[in-house]
Amino acid sequence: MTLQLEAITGGYGDTLVHRDLSLALPAGQITAIVGRNGTGKTTLARLIAGELPLQGGAIRLAGYEIGGLPAHARARRGIVTMPQTGMVFDTLSVRENLHLTGGTPDQIARIAQTFPRLGERMAQRAGSMSGGERKILGFARAMLGNGKVLVLDEPSEGVQPENIQRMQAEITARKAAGAAILLLEQNVSMIVSIADRVHALDTKGFTFTLERADIAREAVLAALEI
């Protein structure tokens, strides 16, 4: 399903972070947004998830306006977000965190095999895992959520290359299954490897867009140097 942001405005009360921002997330594509710290990537993820209220514009999922719906109603329609922080329940075990996604036992077993770190720690309390391990668990939760739109806020932050590779394979598989994916990342290698389109973000909005053929390391780095 395609997600369309139409001239959305929002932020924190009077402090608007985004003004009239438009973006299409086509089904079966990985759309990346690159921008320096504080340009509003996380705020955008929260506006899409419904954690922050829209102060203008519309969000359409397969044509239907969902911009006024609460977060749980958007989640039910298939918008799954991996937040940058707070993506796991610290007091619950790894197993419980995975089960709460609604994933089937087979899906959970598969993801625990894909990321052996999780498989080895099923009984461990999520809050006692390392930062990188929690990221992997948060990512696994997002993959089990059966989302039609996946919003991933810096999934690779603090994660070792081997597990970033595994994340990339998972994201690419979801793309092949038709999900619309928004990747908010500063990891240039990950973007170059898997993104179909890259939008460069600064504090005033999008500055330029790269299509697949133009997504190279230098061009993506330029978005981080604005």
- Min dist CB 183 to Mg ion, Å, is 12
Give me the 60-89 binding string for ligand ATP, x by CB under 6 A, dash otherwise. Answer: ------------------------x-----
* Partner interacting with residue 15 (select from ligand ATP, Mg ion, none; CB below 5-8 Å by kind): ligand ATP
Pick the binder of ligand ATP from 43, 81, 97, 187 (CB under 6 A). Answer: 43
Q: Residue 168 interacts with ligand ATP (CB under 6 A)?
A: no
DSSP string, 120-153: TTTTSBGGGS-HHHHHHHHHHHHHHTT-SEEEEE
Q: How far is the CB of 103 from ligand ATP (least distance, A)?
A: 27
Confirm or reject binding of residue 147 to ligand ATP (CB under 6 A): no
Instruction: Write down the least CB distance from residue 93 to ligand ATP, Å.
Output: 28
Determine the interface stretch with ligand ATP among 24-32, 33-41, 67-75, 88-96 (rule: CB under 6 A).
Answer: 33-41
Identified binder of ligand ATP from the candidate list 21, 29, 31, 35, rule CB under 6 A: 35
DSSP the chain: --EEEEEEEEEETTEEEEEEEEEEE-TTEEEEEEE-TTSSHHHHHHHHHTSS--SEEEEEETTEE-TTS-HHHHHHTTEEEE-SS--S-TTSBHHHHHHTTT--HHHHHHHHHHSHHHHTTTTSBGGGS-HHHHHHHHHHHHHHTT-SEEEEESTTTT--HHHHHHHHHHHHHHHHTT-EEEEE---HHHHHHH-SEEEEEETTEEEEEEEGGG--HHHHHHHH--
Among 30, 41, 150, 192, binds ligand ATP (CB under 6 A): 41
Stretch that binds ligand ATP, among 40-48, 69-77, 114-122, 171-179 (CB under 6 A): 40-48
Residues that bind ligand ATP (CB under 6 A): 12, 15, 17, 35, 37-43, 84
Binding site for Mg ion (CB under 5 A): 41-42, 84
